[in-house]
Amino acid sequence: MPLPSTPLTLRAVFRRQLEQLRTSSRLPRSAPPRRFQSTHPTPTPTPGPKDAAAKPKPAATSDPVPAGTVPVAPLPLWLRLGPLTRTGQAYARAQRRRPWATQVVTSLFIYLAADLSAQRIGGKDYVPERTARNLVVGVVFAVPNYLWFVWLSRNFNYASHAVSIGVKIVIQQLVFTTVFSTYFFGFQALLAGDSLPEAWDRVRRTVPTSWVNAMKLWPAVTAFSFTFVPMEYRGVFAGVVSVGWQTYLSYLNRRAEIEEEASHGKPAALPAPTEKTPVQIDAQKHRVAA
């Protein structure tokens, strides 16, 4: 079979392409969306609470405060006393390391100063035996005294500071003051050589007076100590107050000793007879003759 000629083939292809163009031109064309321009600005949408929560917040950067404007708390009074502060700090360190030995040495100083003051107030000659008795009384009671105040500071601590201080004061006066006064005057009498009934008689005559006078001093001292004084400095504070208080107790004990001597009815010492000289004898004869 003979092949078609080239002009006929090209004519058929051209005709086919022309028909396809006519068919496509008949289909409707979709117009692009018309955009309207407005002179009013587009409102910005207000962010809602969810958008605000979802939006991450920028990291807060704090400006450094100048050093000159930083408030500094003032030091307590007992830390601004120079040599006294250094002495108190040394005592506090010794108290933490060896509390019992520190309390014994402290009691020796307190009772020595108190007895010397009491004997000086009495206006009589110095009696070393009284000082020795006072030192023995102080040394024996030094450690129990320290343990008592540690126990009292660790107990009866309530939500209200006023209630805590009130309970501590009541227990201090009812228990400690009564026991210590009985021990002080009774042991002083026994060391002086008195019998048990005589020691009890001295306790009976001196403890009520000292207890009533203690109510005038030690409640205020206890409240101030447990409110303002740190634990390690309470021994120093109580020791300073105790010098005056022990002076009063020593004076009260000495007055009881004088009353006991007077109640025993000791006769006064009579002056020793003296020999008369011849001149005194002649003078006496002249007075008789006259």
Which DSSP string corresponds to 65-100?
PPGGG---PPPPGGGSSTHHHHHHHHHHHHHHH-HH
Give the rounded distance of the alpha carbon of 141 from its chain centre: 24
pLDDT tens, position by position, 233-268: 777 788 788 888 888 888 888 788 788 777 766 543
Kindly state the average pLDDT of the residues 136-150.
Answer: 91
What pLDDT shows up at residue 288? 45
pTM of the model: 0.60
User: Do 246 and 110 meet the contact criterion of CB atoms below 8 Å apart?
Assistant: yes
pLDDT tens, position by position, 62-92: 545 455 555 666 766 656 777 877 887 888 8
pLDDT tens, position by position, 82-138: 787 788 788 888 888 999 999 899 899 988 988 888 888 877 788 899 899 999 999
**For 125, phi and psi rounded to 5 degrees?**
-65, 150
Using alpha carbons only, how large is the chain's radius of gyration in Å? 52
> Taking all residues of the chain, what is their mean pLDDT, rounded to a whole number?
76
What pLDDT shows up at residue 270? 38
Report in angstroms the alpha-carbon separations of 129 from 118, 136, 160, 183, 267.
14, 11, 48, 19, 23
Query: Which distant-in-sequence residues (6+ apart) come within 8 Å of 92 by Cβ?
Result: 232, 233, 236
Kindly state the average pLDDT of the residues 185-201.
Answer: 92
Of the ranges 97-111, 175-189, 262-276, which one carries the lowest mean pLDDT score?
262-276
Query: Which distant-in-sequence residues (6+ apart) come within 8 Å of 55 by Cβ?
Result: 47
